Homo-oligomer: A and B are copies of this chain.
Amino acid sequence: MNQITIKDLALKLGLSTSTISRALNDHPDINIQTKKLVNDLATKLEYEPNFMARNLQSKNSHQIGIIVPEIKHDFFSKAISGIEEVAYKNGFTVVVSQSNEDVEREKLNANSLYLNRIAGIIVSLSQTTKNVDHFKTLLSKGVKIVMFDRVAEGIDTYKVVVDDYQASYDAVKYLIGKGFKSIIHLAGPQTLLNCKNRYLGYKAAIEDSNIEFKEELVFYGGMHEDDGKMDIENLINNKIHFDAIFAVNDPVAIGASVVLKKNGLRVPEDVAIIGFSNNPITEYVSPSITTIDQPAYEMGKMSASILIALIRGEEMPTTSKNTKLEAKLILRESA
């Protein structure tokens, strides 16, 4: 573990550490021959710069912190891959942490990243995050933050989302066009802006048609499979009539589908279903689930590009603080 340092190189070459440092960093002042000398010895001795020392000196770490609810969700793991892609290309490494849908864990993660003097944070909020004061604090301390997908209102930072409103609007319009009349919405936490927009898109689509909007047909819950199951079980037990479901995301849609089948209801003949995110599993379940594709990988890349520009104080890749990427309806068997 005995690391070669620039001091070692300096000693062997009879030069000063500053010359070594400059040579290694290709500083214009240094004689080209000296540079060669230094670099040759460095490779020969397998010199590896100590990033910790360099970071301490330069006061920033070239590490990007990511906080997502759960990496096991296909959407998030794809987004992370996108972030990694851009990060590596720009000489940044990536630290991933999960909030497990728990605000408290989210706070801990955020703070721990900060203590490690992370260069910036890319975050997608947990379900239980009601307010984002912990991120506002970091922001005020100068930490660069980009939010994606699960973003919050009322925090002044860059955000990368999909046009949740429009995509939801289109999906529900599609259901209406197919003749469905009692379309319920299994909604997510309205503190999350994307969930709110999905709800608003649903509402607008209904109101723009000749159907009466009923708030009683909106059921607010979580974003897991169990939430979808519970909602539909309740509806069936209470004999509430509906012929289509617009779910806030795919797990909820799948949970709903499972319960419907168990109760002898046919999908889509008796009840149609549309989910959100295009999780690969939606293609495998039977019936396969109609859903909305979010460009997860692209969202990750975009978030990273923005964050890195922010860190470097460079020109931003986007004009607006709110980047909206396109999402599109993927037709399958369930609707």
Contacts and interface: CB of A to CB of B under 8 A. Distances in A.
Nearest to A75: B72
Mostly, the A contact residues are mixed
A142 B63 CA distance: 23
Contacts of A112: 93
Contact of A52 (B61, B94, B281): B61
A96 interface: yes
Contacts of A193: none
A94 B94 contact: no
Question: How many copies, total?
Answer: 2
Contacts of A63: 95, 116
Contacts of A116: 51-52, 63, 93
A70 B285 CA distance: 23
A224 B93 CA distance: 27
Interface string A62-101: 0100000011101001101100100010000111111010
A71 B113 CA distance: 20
B98 A93 contact: no
A71 B61 contact: no
Interface in A260-317: 280-281, 284-286
A240 interface: no
A291 to B, nearest CB: 14
B1 A142 contact: yes
Interface string A43-60: 000001111110110000
25 contacts: A1-B142, A1-B143, A48-B115, A50-B117, A52-B52, A63-B116, A70-B77, A71-B81, A72-B77, A81-B98, A81-B100, A84-B98, A88-B108, A93-B95, A93-B112, A93-B113, A94-B96, A94-B97, A95-B95, A96-B96, A280-B281, A281-B281, A281-B284, A284-B284, A285-B285
A196 to B, nearest CB: 28
A80 B72 CA distance: 10
